[in-house]
Structure 1
Amino acid sequence: MLFAHDTVGALRAAVALVNAEEPPRTLETVADLDAFFRRFGYTGRHDGTQSELDEVRALAPRLRELLLADRDDAALLVNELLAEAGAVPRLVRHAGEDWHVHAVPDDAPLARRILVETAMAMIDVIREDEHSRLAVCADDDCRGVVLDLSRNRSRRYCSAACTNRNAQAALRARRAAHA
């Protein structure tokens, strides 16, 4: 595995959150936030309120900036975010998860925990010089973020929808060239 399980989980959650703000938006209701919380295995405080949803959604631009920054800028952003959050890393083990890192208390607001977990995950990306694993979707009409964890670094699209749309367009172009 390229990254530890908590790093992969935090990166996947951050990419999903950033992409949830792109059309069609997928994080619109408190129920959507509840599903996001469960899907990405978050633990700790979860208020399940509109205010919490608004705080989490407001993270998307900051996370996008962090995920797509070049290595040096990402390092500066990570340091700023961790200092701002008062992060103090500690090892924890709970509910079927082996040892992993938490850097803010479990009762900290969900938005703060997401931001810090993403920053902590980006430490591994920066240290391993794996920024090429993060990119903007190759679909010309999409601004989604791609997290490529494939061995051959072949992922170009943020979703199956973008992949399929581009595969169909390429097929039509090949057929038109043959005709």
Structure 2
Amino acid sequence: MLFTHDTTASLMAAVALVNSAEEPDTMTEPAHLDAFFAEHRYTGSRTHDAAELAAVRALRAPLRRLLTSDRDIAVEIVNAMLAEHRAVPRLVRHDGFDYHLHATSPETPLAVRIAVETAMAMVDVIRADELGRLSTCADETCGGIVLDLSRNRSRRYCSTTCGNRIAVAAYRARKA
């Protein structure tokens, strides 16, 4: 295991959120946010309104910058996010997960919880000097983020869709 469960879960959620901005945008309705919340097992309060959706959508660009920055810039972004939201780490246990870190209260707005949890996860990535686990998709027509948690660091595409598209194109080129 490269990272703890909460770090891995936060990184996967951040990558999914950033990639939701790729065409077609998959975070345009409150139902999309509901599905994201459930899939990534976030806890805490929700407002279920347009303002909450807009705040989460607005995180996509700053999180993209964080996930694609070099180590020194990532440190600056993480420190700024944690300071801005007055993050105070504490150990919690809930929903069948053993102790892990939370740095906001359950009443904190969802967008802030996502930002802080991503920043906390990036602390582990930066300290382990594993920013190479984050990259952009090898499909030149895609801007998606790739989180490579494989042992041999072989993941190149943000999704099977991109990998399949490149494989089909290569096959067709060979046959032509």
In which range does the TM-score fall when normalised by the shorter chain? over 0.9
Q: What is aligned with 1:162?
A: 162
Spell out the pairing of 1:142-157 with structure 2 (5 A cutoff): 142-157=142-157
Q: What is aligned with 2:94?
A: 94
Q: Could you tell me how far 1:160 is from its partner in structure 2? A: 1.1
Q: Could you tell me how far 1:147 is from its partner in structure 2? A: 0.5
Structure 2 residue ranges without an equivalent (≥5): none
Q: What is aligned with 1:17?
A: 17
Q: Could you tell me how far 1:46 is from its partner in structure 2? A: 1.4
- Work out the CA distance in 2 between the residues paired with 1:49 and 1:8: 28
Q: What is aligned with 1:122?
A: 122
Q: Could you tell me how far 1:33 is from its partner in structure 2? A: 0.4
Q: Could you tell me how far 1:76 is from its partner in structure 2? A: 1.1
Q: What is aligned with 1:79?
A: 79
Q: What is aligned with 2:61?
A: 61
SS of the residue 1:99 aligns to? strand
SS of the residue 2:101 aligns to? strand
Partner deviation per Cα, 1:128-149 (whole Å, 9 max, x = no partner): 1111100011111111100011
Q: What is aligned with 2:36?
A: 36
SS of the residue 1:92 aligns to? strand
Normalising by structure 1, we get a TM-score of 0.97
Partner deviation per Cα, 1:62-105 (whole Å, 9 max, x = no partner): 00000000011101110011000100000000111111100011
Identical aligned pairs, as a percentage?
A: 61
Structure 1 residue ranges without an equivalent (≥5): none
Q: Which amino acid aligns with 1:24?
A: P
Partner deviation per Cα, 1:135-170 (whole Å, 9 max, x = no partner): 011111111100011111111111111010001111
Q: What is aligned with 2:8?
A: 8
**Cα RMSD after superposing both structures:** 0.7
Q: What is aligned with 1:70?
A: 70
Q: Could you tell me how far 1:48 is from its partner in structure 2? A: 1.1
SS of the residue 2:23 aligns to? coil
Q: Which amino acid aligns with 2:47?
A: D
Q: Could you tell me how far 1:173 is from its partner in structure 2? A: 1.9
- Work out the CA distance in 2 between the residues paired with 1:95 and 1:10: 16
